[in-house]
Amino acid sequence: MTARGGSAMRLRGLVRKEFLQIVRDPSSIAIAFLMPIFLLILFGYGVSLDADHVPMALLAEAPSQDSADFMAALQGSHYFAPRIMNSMPEAELALREGKVKGIIRLRAAFSRRMRQADGAPIQVVVDGVDANTARLVMGYVEGAWGEWIAAQAARHGQSMTVPVDLQPRIWFNSELRSRNYLVPGLIAIIMTLIGALLTALVMAREWERGTMEALLVTPASMSEVLIGKLAAYFILGTGGMLLTVGLSVWLFEVPLRGSFWLLWLCSSLFLLAALGMGLTISTLARSQFVAGQIAIIATFLPAFLLSGFIFDIGSMPPVVQLITHVVVARYFVAIVQTLFLAGNVWPVILPNAMALTAMAAIFLTITWKKSRKRLD
């Protein structure tokens, strides 16, 4: 009984010590509270895949009523910021210099060939360097073209000439706002960084400064030292997490369709895994310098590129898909995207939450084992 009471007291003391250290070096507080706000606001506004007002060169070699009609269809669309050009060399130069993303050219025979059986060609050239934007632009042009065709048919009293009429319906995100899926993903990325940043140096720092030995001659056991650190940073991290979720819902208006408490629970699991990863790095590296280097290389880019935050994991080669399984953020990205946009879909949440639990357990066990070994 006394032993347990002593343990609780020691733990409280250790947590207090961690908090004092956190308060003394304000960079930890900055990491936990300012960094998530700063990054989420910057990225929430900055990161978007929705191209709008794409600068396009419009070129009608022999202006006529028909060409003016078609151009009007493009000019009316908010997807384009059309620039009228007078010759193809001028338009090509603009494309080469990156001033426009594409060229739409109506040749001199446009009006005449519209009355022929095979129809008039509309030449479209897009800048393919950014393939994704190029594809979007092509889609926009196609959309504007389709509307123009329909309007033409209606005006001439013909029925639609499209045999199969494609009617797409997008679930969970009907307006296709890319922010709705990017912002929840950003929470996962930002919290990965914060979790690792908070703890990546703490163990190494104690070893480097010799304070770890000092801690170990006290009655506190290694597990208590670890739990003390984990508890302190877990509380900090939870604060950061709540801030980012709040910002996403109220500032960025991403709908939270699933349960808030389930999100809280999954976030806690994720935070344990992320903090555990930091502690593992810190324990294995021994020196703060190396721990810092590992944190830089092992956290951000893998979380950014391999988590499914922006690149579809299903389209990666099998080997790379396998590698993504060691990226903690991957599981949390799946959970937050589903919880925010689709709701409590248990078949998605459960396996990913279990994976997070396993990752947390693995990292914390490694830390514990490796730290204990040092004692001998």
Partner 1 sequence: MWRRILALVHKEFLALLKDPKSRMVLIVPPLIQLLVFGYAATFDLKQVPYAVYNEDGGVAARDLLARFSGAASFKQVADLHSESEIAPLVDVRRVLVVIHIGPRFSADLLSGRPAPLQVIADGRNSNSAMIALNYVRSIVDRYNDEWIAAHGLQGPPARLEMRSWFNPNLESRWFFIPGIIGMLTLVVTMLVTALTVAREREQGTFDQLLVTPLRPGEILIGKTVPGFAIGIVQATLILLVATLWFRVPFLGSLPAFYAGLALFLLSGVGAGLLISALSATQQQGLLGAFLFMVPAVILSGFATPIANMPEVVQVVTLIDPLRYFLVVLRKLFLEGAGFGLVVDQLWPMAVIGATSLVLAGWLFRHRMY
Q: Residue 83 or 205: which CB sits closer to partner 1? A: 205
Buried b (16+ CB within 10 A) or exposed e, 138-158: eebbeebbeebbeebeeeeee
The CA angle 52-164-79, to the nearest 5 degrees, is: 5
58 SS3 class: strand
Measured from the CB of residue 72, what is the shortest distance to partner 1 in angstroms?
A: 14
- The tokens for 208 are 């480097």
Instruction: Name residues whose C-beta falls within 8 Å of residue 363's C-beta, 6 or more positions apart in sequence.
Output: 273, 276, 277, 279, 280
Q: How far apart are the first and last CA of the chain?
A: 28
Q: Which is nearer to partner 1, 133 or 223 (CB)?
A: 133
Name the DSSP letter for residue 161.
Answer: -
Given the rule CB under 8 A, which of 6-14, 135-143, 232-240, 241-249 is the region that contacts partner 1?
135-143
Binding of partner 1 by 125 (CB under 8 A) = yes
Single out the residue of 4, 118, 155, 250 in contact with partner 1 (rule: CB under 8 A).
118
> Which residue number, 10 or 335, has a Cβ lying nearer to partner 1?
335
Q: Taking CB under 8 A as the rule, does residue 264 contact partner 1?
A: no
Using CB under 8 A as the binding rule, the residues of this chain from 136 to 175 that contact partner 1 are 136, 138-139, 141-142, 145, 149, 152, 158-174
- d(CA 367, CA 223) in angstroms, rounded, equals 10
Query: Token match 């961690």: residue?
Result: 18
Shortest separation between residue 329's beta carbon and partner 1, angstroms? 13
Q: Are 283 and 371 in contact (CB under 8 A)?
A: yes
For residue 310, the one-letter residue type is: I
Angstrom distance (rounded) from CA 279 to CA 298 = 13
Q: Between 113 and 238, whose beta carbon lies closer to partner 1?
A: 113
Instruction: Please pick, from the candidates 14, 15, 40, 54, the single residue that binds partner 1 as defined by CB under 8 A.
Output: 54
Report, in Å, the least distance between residue 307 CB and partner 1: 10
Question: In angstroms, rounded to a whole number, what is the distance separating the alpha carbons of residues 327 and 307?
Answer: 7
Q: How far is the CB of 102 from partner 1 (least distance, A)?
A: 9
Q: How far apart are CA 306 and CA 233, in angstroms?
A: 26
Element (H, E) at 242: helix 222-246
* Nearest alpha carbon to residue 371 among 169, 174, 223, 229: 223
- 33 contacts partner 1 (rule: CB under 8 A): no
Cross-strand partners of 56: 82, 102
Contact with partner 1 (CB under 8 A) among 201, 230, 272, 359:
201
Of 5, 115, 210, 217, the one binding partner 1 (CB under 8 A) is 115
Of residues 14, 329, 335, 341, which one binds partner 1 by CB under 8 A?
Answer: 341
Q: Could you say whether residue 253 binds partner 1 (CB under 8 A)? A: no
Task: Decide: is 73 part of the binding site for partner 1 (CB under 8 A).
Answer: no
Integer Cα distance of 338 and 333 in angstroms: 8
Is 89 among the residues that bind partner 1 (CB under 8 A)? Answer: no
Among 216, 196, 212, residue whose Cα is nearest residue 204: 212
Q: Which range of residues in 237-245, 261-269, 299-307, 365-373 is near partner 1 by CB under 8 A? A: 299-307
23 forms part of the interface with partner 1 (CB under 8 A): no
Beta carbon nearer to partner 1, 11 or 251:
251
Per-residue CA distances from 267 to 113, 210, 262, 273 (Å)? 61, 34, 8, 10
**Residue 52 binds partner 1 (CB under 8 A):** yes
Residue from the set 8, 9, 23, 30 that interacts with partner 1 by CB under 8 A: 30
| Given 128, 219, 239, 255, the residue binding partner 1 (CB under 8 A) | 128
Minimum distance from residue 159 beta carbon to partner 1 (Å): 7
Q: How many residues bind partner 1 (CB under 8 A)?
A: 120
- The whole-angstrom separation of Cα 53 and Cα 83 is 11
Using CB under 8 A, which of the segments 71-79, 224-232, 247-255, 288-296 binds partner 1? 288-296
Q: Which of 15, 58, 95, 364 binds partner 1 (CB under 8 A)?
A: 95
Element (H, E) at 114: helix 110-114
Q: Which is nearer to partner 1, 231 or 311 (CB)?
A: 311
Using CB under 8 A as the binding rule, whether residue 304 contacts partner 1 is answered as yes
